[in-house]
Structure 1
Amino acid sequence: MRHRTVRDVMTTDVVTVRVGTPAKDVAEQLDRHRISGVPVLDEAGHVAGVVTATDLLHKITYQEDGDEWPRFLRRHRVDREKAHGTTANDLMTSPATTIGPDASIVEAATVLESGGVKRLPVVDVVGALVGIVSRADLVKVFTRPDHQIRDEIVTDVVERALLLPPAAITVDVTEGVVTLRGHLERRSEAVLAAALARRVDGVVRVVDELGYLNDDTRYVYA
């Protein structure tokens, strides 16, 4: 069973800026391409950081801010410093959270969720930018056609993993919801079939209607 990787879903035509790019030019790039963030590259072409629309908005938020108390909070101090920045280097969040092209989409989703970011620069082993992956790119996995999901479950789960004939389990897929039906020899086979089906990319939910003759797991679950 092959899980999709970041390489399969990432965008390779990436809009970037350099560390010395003026703040106004960064804003123009975001506006022109209708994006909310852009990787910042150093002289070697490595990702030095990321500038987002939020970073630029600090220039408005703190433009006439006369309140002194926020300066005692680190977050506000950083935001104030960005508000006075003139280049991408001043505005960017660094170091950038990145990911490799061969990471699974599950790993990418975990990093995006835990980091609270919308996109990840994708870098190779030497740190050079090779693409970018967003939450929207990962969501595309759930647009896989039902017949592709069904074929993968039959081939990779039923035949290869369980070593059963295709007809041993009836696999129905409707809008990503997988229903498994059949009567297997052992309960462990039924449990494994459902577990593996859930791991197939694009599966929304698995409805397990599998039966079995022998419960070979009763000692495990006792």
Structure 2
Amino acid sequence: MKRRRVGAVMTGDVVRARSGTPAHELACWMAEFGINGVPVVDSDDRVRGVVSATDLARARSAGRGLDHCTAETVMSAPAHTVRADDSVVRAARLMSAHGIERLPVVDEEARLVGMLTRRDVLRLFARSDEEIRDEVIDEIVVRTLWLSPRSVDVSVRDGVATLSGSLDSSGQVAVLVRMVRQVDGVTGVVSRLVHRGESAYPGPGPAFDRGGFRP
């Protein structure tokens, strides 16, 4: 099953600032390079914080002219970061949970190696329902669980995967649902699966699990 990693979609050539970089220079960089955030690093390239366009606007509204501010005085710290080998899904959830648009990518020693933006994530998750369905059937149902593609009916609409069919055990059902939930682009899973001995899905209706990232 394909699992996209941060390192595969991040931007490696990152504009970065030092603690003493004047805030007005950061504003110029954002305009020049078309970015809305700059990581602040120390002399060893370890991330100390991030200055966003929102941070600069906040400094202006507080009556602090940017000519008298530095990156250290306006940055948001500590910065939320991810590793290059983290999944893009984990990074997307971190962005969503903290309401941020970008994440510095660091190595084992917290040194800056790249930047992941919400735009990078959106590009990755812009997958058609047909692509998602093909991956679920080919990578999970057939190649991973070794099931006949006829044993599970898979339909995908607007990123929500609906699974129907009969499997050998409740454990097999749970594994399939969990794996489909982790597929890039899946925003939710509706399970109408039953296992041998069940005549119908128990309870008042199908189980719905919104476990993916919805941009």
Q: TM-score, normalised by structure 1?
A: 0.74
Matches within 5 A, 1:7-46: 7-46=7-46
CA deviation map 1:136-190 (0-9, x unaligned): 3223333123343223212332124432122322333344333334343445434
Specify the alignment match of 1:112 in structure 2. 95
Gaps of 5+ in 1: 64-79, 216-222
Change (3 A) 1:177 1:114: closer
Greater C-alpha radius of gyration = 1
The structure 1 residue matched to 2:123, chosen from 140, 163, 170, is: 140
What is the one-letter code of the residue matched to 1:62? A
Structure 2 residue aligned with 1:90: 73
Whether the 8 Å CA contact 1:187–1:214 is kept in 2: the answer is no
State the one-letter code of the partner of 2:101.
K
Q: Residues 21 and 182 from structure 1, CA distance in 2 versus in 1: closer, same or farther, beyond 3 angstroms? A: same
Picking from 185, 189, 195, the partner of 2:178 is: 195
| Alpha-carbon offset, residue 213 of structure 1 | 3.6
Q: How large is the Cα RMSD of the aligned pairs?
A: 2.9
User: How many correspondences in the alignment?
Assistant: 200
Superposed, which structure 2 residues align to 1:155-194 within 5 Å?
155-194=138-177
With over 3 angstroms needed to count, the CA separation of the structure-2 counterparts of 1:94 and 1:153, relative to structure 1, is same
> For residue 128 of structure 1, what is the aligned residue in structure 2?
111
Which letter maps to 1:167?
A: R
Q: TM-score, normalised by structure 2?
A: 0.76
Which one-letter code corresponds to 1:206 in the other structure? Answer: V
CA distance in 1, matches of 2:19, 2:59: 18
Counterparts of 1:59 and 1:181 in 2: how far apart (Å)? 54
> Is the Cα contact below 8 Å between 1:58 and 1:83 reproduced in 2?
no
Identity rate of aligned residues, in percent? 41
Distance 1:202 1:119 in 2: 19
Q: List structure 1 runs of 4+ shifted beyond 6 angstroms.
A: none
- Which residue, 149, 152, 168 being the options, matches 2:135? 152
| Separation in structure 1 between the aligned mates of residue 155 and residue 104 of structure 2, nearest angstrom | 37
Gaps of 5+ in 2: 199-215
Shift of 1:83: 6.9
- Indicate whether 1:61 and 2:44 are aligned: no
Structure 1 residues 52-111: Cα deviation after superposition (integer angstroms, max 9, x where no partner): 223222442232xxxxxxxxxxxxxxxx7x978432233223332211111122321333
CA distance in 1 between counterparts of 2:157 and 2:100 reads 32
> Conserved in 2, the CA contact under 8 Å of 1:123 and 1:129?
yes
Per-residue deviation at 1:6? 1.5
Bigger CA drift: 54-63 or 97-106?
54-63
Larger displacement relative to structure 2 (104-113 or 177-186): 177-186
Counterpart CA distance in 2 for 1:4 and 1:114 is 20
Alignment partner of 1:151: what SS?
helix
1:66 alignment counterpart = none
